[in-house]
Chains A and B, each alone.
Chain A
């Protein structure tokens, strides 16, 4: 596969992609998932704070499942960014490492990058952070909440 030309989606396009993501997946809508930034090489999303997603009510911490859903959706978006079109994909496997608890009461930002595409499989890495870094910057290590790796199957159109 030839390398796609770099593309940076405009704020209006990013907003439209977010709507599609929520319309396409009611679970993304239930989480209130937003698309923040979209480039061929990396995408960023936001999970607003929601007390219904708490898995540890003693400490007020988000459940890993909510973070897994955030990361899974963000990885799917990274594949669409890399291919520059809506793609029908299915998760083959997803590993989520929980580096530290998400700060209670605050949004979580997730990123993903699709670094290899074959005819049938896409390889993606990503993560989640308590801060949204400036474009082109990486989040500081101490802000990292999740590290994730996923493989996805491309379904025949």
Chain B
């Protein structure tokens, strides 16, 4: 495709990110993450995936509100980043199911997501992710993501 990435290049990005190196090169290697405008950072509580607001994310111009699909994409991405940076992950996991619950309409502004690995088995990992906006933070959507681990 347009920007193929070798397993070797991905492994190098993962090694650098896990060694407290910059995280954004990993995000920028994924075209859809750039399409959404994702930024990956780390704070005391762990990884934070931020979807920077831009007009193309809107799904309801009347309200306006972010498209539900972009929130599902953000939550799935946050879940995948959590698994990718977990030691022992060698390749991009494959998503099996994503179940997203929408709690309130997402305003046209930045959205932050955090994820937590609930269980990591030999083949399948279960991750929960939460997306929030504003200060104080209000949760706009949550998701449970099942992924197939390579191996």
Check A54/B55 contact, CB under 8 A, given A24-B61, A65-B70, A69-B70: no
The distance from the CB of A50 to the nearest CB of chain B, in whole angstroms, is 8
Judge whether A66 and B76 touch: CB under 8 Å: no
CB neighbors of B among A14-71 (8 A): 23-30, 51-60, 62-66, 68-71
For A88, the chain B residues whose CB sits under 8 A away are 62
A154 at the binding interface (Cβ < 8 Å): no
For B69, the chain A residues whose CB sits under 8 A away are 27, 65-66, 68-73
Which residue of A has the minimal Cβ distance to B60?
A: A25
Which residue of B has the minimal Cβ distance to A69?
A: B69
Which residue of A has the minimal Cβ distance to B101?
A: A93
Complex Cα distance, B72 from A94, in Å, reads 9
Judge whether A51 and B31 touch: CB under 8 Å: yes
Judge whether A95 and B99 touch: CB under 8 Å: yes
For B31, the chain A residues whose CB sits under 8 A away are 51-55, 57, 63
Check A23/B1 contact, CB under 8 A, given A56-B92, A71-B69: no
B91 at the binding interface (Cβ < 8 Å): yes
Complex Cα distance, B32 from A51, in Å, reads 8
Complex Cα distance, B58 from A26, in Å, reads 6
Judge whether A69 and B1 touch: CB under 8 Å: no
Judge whether B32 and A27 touch: CB under 8 Å: no
B: residues with CB less than 8 A from A are: 1-7, 10, 29-36, 55-62, 65-70, 72-74, 76-77, 80, 91-92, 94-102, 105
Given A68-B73, A69-B72, 12 more A-B residue pairs with CB atoms under 8 Å apart are A25-B67, A27-B69, A51-B31, A54-B31, A64-B72, A65-B73, A69-B59, A72-B68, A94-B102, A95-B97, A95-B99, A98-B94
